[in-house]
Amino acid sequence: MNFIRVIIARRYEIHQTPGSLYVFDHDRAIANVKTLELPWLNNIRRESCIPPGTYDCERFDHPRMGQCWLLNDVPDRSEIMIHAGNFASGKKVDIEGCIMPGLRFIDINLDGNLDVADSVKAMNILRAILPDKFKLTIL
């Protein structure tokens, strides 16, 4: 039986949505990484983060992003994933509604907005501990 729980606690900001992703095994926290998403813009496709809720996730191999997780049954959205990336605002944006994990926030490109760093390392941590299928709760 799967006792893994995954929760993202968000902080909604004007230009982006930073958060923390916690992985629990039973009631014990076994991982914590940062997340970065687009700002909340009423769930507009390719411009907004997705609504809070609980989503079924499954691991899959994306042709460009590599091994990541697909979030199923996101209201009015499709192809929402957890994958590596750095930028959620400014001239260079790595997502269109997806969730990027990282180990820390930093302004990589000096545009005044938070970016997420060490995203590939964070993905490797998650790949090592998350099952192929799990439920993700976004607050």
> Domain containing 67: what range?
4-138
CA distance 15 to 40: 9
Task: List all residues 6 or more positions away from 95 whose beta carbon is below 8 Å from its beta carbon.
Answer: 37, 38, 83, 85, 88
HSE-CB of 56 using CA atoms within 13 angstroms: 3
Q: What is the pLDDT of residues 8-49, one digit of tens each?
A: 999 999 999 999 999 999 989 999 999 999 999 999 999 999
How many structural domains comprise the chain?
1
pLDDT bin (cut points 50, 70, 90) of residue 88 is confident
User: Model-level pTM?
Assistant: 0.94
